[in-house]
Structure 1
Amino acid sequence: MYRLAGSIMLLWGVKRASLAIVMGALAALALPPFSFPATLFVSFTVLVWLLDGTTGSADGGILRSYRQAFVTGWLFGFGYFVAGLWWVGSALLVEADEFAWALPLAIVGLPALLAIFYGMATLIARIFWSEGFGRLAALALGFGLAEWLRSFVATGFPWNAIGYGAMPIPVMMQSAHAIGLFGVSALSVFVFATPALLGTRRGRVTGIVLATLLVVVHFGYGAWRLSEAPATAATEKTLSVRLVQPAVEQTDKNGDDDREQQFDDLLKLSALPPKAGDKRPDLIVWPETSVPFILTENPDAFTRIADTLQPGQVLLAGAVRAEDRGPGYPPRYYNSVFLINDKGEIIGASDKVHLTPFGEYVPFEDVLRQWGIDNLISLPGGFTAASARTMLTLPGGINLYPLICYEIIFPQEIDEAPASTNAIVNVTNDGWFGDTPGPYQHFLQARVRAAETGLPVIRDANNGISAVIDGKGQIVAGLSLDKKQAVDATISLLSVSKWNDSGRFYNFWLIIACLALAAVGSRAGFISALD
């Protein structure tokens, strides 16, 4: 291992850059649909050795080593995000004659921008770099801060945070309940980088012991939480849900043909009788923008919905909402969900708050539209973001917190949920991306949000993956990709604990503080005895 580590440290030029990119791409195999976390041990071990090779520079001094560290992290991130996000380009091929020219921007440009955060991570690590296990703490510190920043800078895009690679199954998701996605991401980097100590002579025992302890706690806490007894009958609320998955091809959704057939299919799937022995659903859910017309401009649609619903049933439908602005002004459009009762009346509605850049709105619109860059969704002016999210309350007092499409990938969006929230409802349309890793990655992130908050997630997707997920990330019932069907499930509901929300926030910063102390202490020689 010493010889291998030394040869990697001494790499330069094209060989060094290529290895960094390949290691980043290898790390993406930890993500769905592959979900093979072992690759992260290889990737981060090699990344540590590459960074070891930036610590000295006879002719360039400290600034050159910082620049090399940033470039190494950027190259690693570029490989990771290209391999993990190449499928984003599939959305541009739905209307290829209009958007295919932008494929390089999606496949290469987006990863190049996101890789800046990983360059910042390795730059931060390099500032505190030392020998022994302290450099692992420095790297974990850098990546923890980078993933946190990635969740909100420039509206945020925390897709495929490193922590997801450490949470492929429910027993490995539970740590997020205590320390959140970004806490898991930081500590995961420390663990995944630990084999690098086998190629050096200092800090080996201490680092391996700490990493082993973290792994034991990670699995132990997960097993303990999964074994917790469910709520007692005296305090338990239940909700019977039907997920309707119409599996409409995105090209058909974008066209003007077959809109009436699409609406008929939604109604037919909603009206199916429950399986023998199953409870009739209280709530029927349709996916994001599933209604193929402006719902509020079609009174007949409400009549047909009322005729379909049984007494006491409620429909939650994803639809575009138009807001009239008066003569001479185009309407505003919102990506919305509506609650409709068995009389065909709207009893609740909520609009999307966190819009998708270039899908629902164009950042820097005045400049970019001059260059021909437009929304994928053809609406005049795109969608408008709501100023606030509205809780959806079902008859009987059950409160649903609505998240539309990729809003569910943002932990902070859910941390804002009122304490009275009983479940999260997430409607989405991943049909833009076909049978690629995208829908599988999106689904994992929804499951982690459930485990993170302890709240059930009711997730309905146009073409899948749709599922009812319990508050520990376990699938109660679901539908696989591209299956045109409906599925019923009954879930237990509890109110969210706001203590857990604040606890995750403070625990993440406690982890960052501990990593910083370890990195600084090792750099200054205060903990050299442990090495």
Structure 2
Amino acid sequence: MERLAGKVMLLWGVRRIMLAIAAGAIGALALPPFGFFGAFFVSFTLLVWLMDGLASHPDGGWLARLRSAFLLGWLFGLGYFVAGLWWLGNALLVEADEFAWALPLAVLGLPAVLGLFYGLATALASTLWSDGFGRLAALALGFGIAEWLRSFVATGFPWSAIGYGAMPMPVMMQSAGVIGLFGVSTLAVLVFSVPALFGTQRGLKTGIAAGLLLLCIHFGYGAYRLNITPDGGGEGEAVVRLVQPVVDQSRKLQNADRTDIFEEHLALSDAPPEAGGRRPDIIVWPETSVPFILTENQDALARIADVLDEGQVLVAGAVRVEYIGAGSTPRYYNSVYVVDDAGQILAASDKVHLTPFGEYVPFENWLRDWGIDNLVSLPGGFTAAAVRSLLPLPGGQSLYPLICYEAIFPQEITEDITRATAILNITNDAWFGDTPGPYQHFLQARVRAVETGLPLIRGANSGISAVVDSFGRVSDGLAFNQKGFIDAPLKDATVPSWNNSARLTHFCLILFSMFLIAALARMGFKTGTN
């Protein structure tokens, strides 16, 4: 290992650049659908050795080393995000004649921007770099801060945070309930970097002890949480039917086919339960599944009423329109409705966190002049709601709606979550085809269930649709591109480990601990006592 580490440290020029990109790309194997979290051990070990190579050339000056560290992290991030997010380009091919020109921006441009955060991480780590275990803490500190910043800067995009690679299964998800996604990400970088110590030997015993301790706590706490909680519920639970119609995205964009699409949803909703199954109480359709402006189409509401049995409700994604005044441009909202068996709209909630370039154009006045527009064509795009509204149901339940990619933001969960009985995540991942995207999205939504202690109802047009308990375990679901429906009981909520505020406090304490370890190691290194 020492010989290999030495070779990596001494790399320069093109070979160093290519290895930095490759190291990041290897890490993407830890994400769904692969879920090989061991890939991050290789990825971060190489990154530590590449950082060591910068520290071994002190003659360039502090600013030059900072710049080199930033470039190294950016290259690492470029490889990671290109390998992990290339599937975003698939959305541009749905209407290729109009948007194919933007493919390089999605496949390379966005990863290049996201890579800046990892450049910041390594630049920050370089200021506290030493030659022992402390440098791993410095790297963990940098990445923890970078992932946190990535969740809100420029509206945020925390997709594929490092922590998700450390949570591929429910037993490994439970730590998120205590320290949150960003706390898991910080400690994960520390653990994933431990093999680098075999290449330099200094701090090896400390690193192995710390890494094994954190892994034991991570797995041990998860096993404890799952084993003390029964996987099941009583007969009085509400039964949820998830309708997965698998409507091709190009077909959804053709207005001429709207009635047929609507009837396909109704037919799946009206199908009898499987033998011995209970009639569903709640029927869920995916995001924008209603192909009409529902408030302006009484015939559509009447058809829903025809299909629903007494006491049943439909929870469906739809576009909502709002007219401010005569002659004004209408406002469109990406919404979810609750409709009862009489065809009455009982409740509605609008999307708060819109998708850039999908639902609105940032810097609209400037970018539209360059021909950059939304993937979804509406006059002026969608409008973001000021607040998120809970969806009360007749049976006493209350759903906390997260529409599409809102589920990837831990901070989207407000205190209102305490009044909800389940999280509702409706989405339309058909834009991305059978790529890693829908699988990654599903994992992130499951982690929100663990953090909040609430079961998750997830309805997707093409998949993955599932009912998930509050520990991230899938009760029942439909695979990607599997047309049909499932009826599954909605599990009871559990008491979450901690609330959002407490998880943020724990994350800050972890960051402070990493800083303290790195700073003490750095001072020891400078005085020759490390």
TM class by shorter-chain length? over 0.9
Task: Give the conservation status (yes or no) of the 8 Å contact 1:237–1:493.
Answer: no
* Aligned-pair CA distance for 1:418: 3.3
Query: Deviations along 1:364-383, whole A, 9 cap, x unmatched?
Result: 00000000000000101000
Task: Give the conservation status (yes or no) of the 8 Å contact 1:464–1:479.
Answer: yes
In 1: Cα distance, 2:58 partner to 2:191 partner: 32
Q: TM-score, normalised by structure 1?
A: 0.97
Q: Percent identity?
A: 65
Task: Give the conservation status (yes or no) of the 8 Å contact 1:27–1:39.
Answer: yes
* Aligned-pair CA distance for 1:452: 1.9
Matches within 5 A, 1:39-58: 39-58=39-58
In 2: Cα distance, 1:70 partner to 1:388 partner: 38
Counterpart of 1:457 in structure 2 is 456
For residue 424 of structure 2, give the secondary structure of its aligned residue in structure 1: strand
* Aligned-pair CA distance for 1:495: 6.6
For residue 295 of structure 2, give the secondary structure of its aligned residue in structure 1: helix
Q: TM-score, normalised by structure 2?
A: 0.97
1:80 equivalent in alignment to 2:47: no
Indicate how the Cα distance of structure 1 residues 189 and 527 shifts in structure 2: closer, same or farther if over 3 A, else same.
farther
Counterpart of 1:408 in structure 2 is 407
In 1: Cα distance, 2:108 partner to 2:232 partner: 51
Matches within 5 A, 1:421-436: 421-436=420-435
Counterpart of 2:15 in structure 1 is 15
* Aligned-pair CA distance for 1:209: 0.4
In 2: Cα distance, 1:90 partner to 1:218 partner: 35
Q: Which amino acid aligns with 2:176?
A: A
Query: Deviations along 1:408-467, whole A, 9 cap, x unmatched?
Result: 000011244331111100000001000111101101111111122221110000000100
Indicate how the Cα distance of structure 1 residues 407 and 136 shifts in structure 2: closer, same or farther if over 3 A, else same.
same
Counterpart of 2:204 in structure 1 is 204
Indicate how the Cα distance of structure 1 residues 465 and 330 shifts in structure 2: closer, same or farther if over 3 A, else same.
same
Counterpart of 2:112 in structure 1 is 112
Q: Which runs of 5+ in 2 are unaligned?
A: none
Indicate how the Cα distance of structure 1 residues 527 and 443 shifts in structure 2: closer, same or farther if over 3 A, else same.
farther
Counterpart of 1:508 in structure 2 is 507
In 2: Cα distance, 1:148 partner to 1:469 partner: 26
* Aligned-pair CA distance for 1:56: 4.0
Q: Which amino acid aligns with 1:511?
A: I
Counterpart of 1:158 in structure 2 is 158
For residue 317 of structure 1, give the secondary structure of its aligned residue in structure 2: strand
Indicate how the Cα distance of structure 1 residues 132 and 345 shifts in structure 2: closer, same or farther if over 3 A, else same.
same
Q: Which runs of 5+ in 1 are unaligned?
A: none
Q: CA RMSD in A?
A: 1.8
Q: Which amino acid aligns with 1:316?
A: V
In 1: Cα distance, 2:232 partner to 2:50 partner: 53
Query: Deviations along 1:146-176, whole A, 9 cap, x unmatched?
Result: 0011000000000000011111111111111
1:141 equivalent in alignment to 2:134: no
Indicate how the Cα distance of structure 1 residues 239 and 103 shifts in structure 2: closer, same or farther if over 3 A, else same.
same
1:256 equivalent in alignment to 2:289: no
* Aligned-pair CA distance for 1:327: 2.1
Indicate how the Cα distance of structure 1 residues 289 and 232 shifts in structure 2: closer, same or farther if over 3 A, else same.
closer
In 2: Cα distance, 1:33 partner to 1:326 partner: 48
Task: Give the conservation status (yes or no) of the 8 Å contact 1:315–1:340.
Answer: yes
Task: Give the conservation status (yes or no) of the 8 Å contact 2:450–2:496.
Answer: no
In 2: Cα distance, 1:463 partner to 1:366 partner: 34
In 2: Cα distance, 1:426 partner to 1:493 partner: 17
* Aligned-pair CA distance for 1:224: 0.3
Counterpart of 2:33 in structure 1 is 33
For residue 424 of structure 1, give the secondary structure of its aligned residue in structure 2: strand
1:329 equivalent in alignment to 2:328: yes
Q: Which moved more, 1:358-367 or 1:62-71?
A: 62-71
Query: Deviations along 1:384-408, whole A, 9 cap, x unmatched?
Result: 0000000011113211100000000
Q: Which moved more, 1:253-262 or 1:338-347?
A: 253-262
Counterpart of 1:347 in structure 2 is 346
Matches within 5 A, 1:259-408: 259-408=258-407
Counterpart of 1:437 in structure 2 is 436
Q: Which moved more, 1:289-298 or 1:412-421?
A: 412-421
Task: Give the conservation status (yes or no) of the 8 Å contact 1:203–1:530.
Answer: no
Counterpart of 1:24 in structure 2 is 24
In 1: Cα distance, 2:331 partner to 2:66 partner: 48
In 2: Cα distance, 1:331 partner to 1:65 partner: 53
Q: Which amino acid aligns with 1:144?
A: G
Indicate how the Cα distance of structure 1 residues 302 and 386 shifts in structure 2: closer, same or farther if over 3 A, else same.
same
Counterpart of 2:473 in structure 1 is 474
Q: Which moved more, 1:321-330 or 1:51-60?
A: 51-60
Task: Give the conservation status (yes or no) of the 8 Å contact 1:339–1:349.
Answer: yes
Task: Give the conservation status (yes or no) of the 8 Å contact 1:90–1:433.
Answer: yes
Task: Give the conservation status (yes or no) of the 8 Å contact 1:419–1:498.
Answer: no
Query: Deviations along 1:92-111, whole A, 9 cap, x unmatched?
Result: 00000100000010000000
Q: Which amino acid aligns with 1:72?
A: L
In 2: Cα distance, 1:361 partner to 1:334 partner: 11
Q: Which moved more, 1:301-310 or 1:225-234?
A: 225-234
In 2: Cα distance, 1:86 partner to 1:440 partner: 14
Indicate how the Cα distance of structure 1 residues 496 and 346 shifts in structure 2: closer, same or farther if over 3 A, else same.
farther
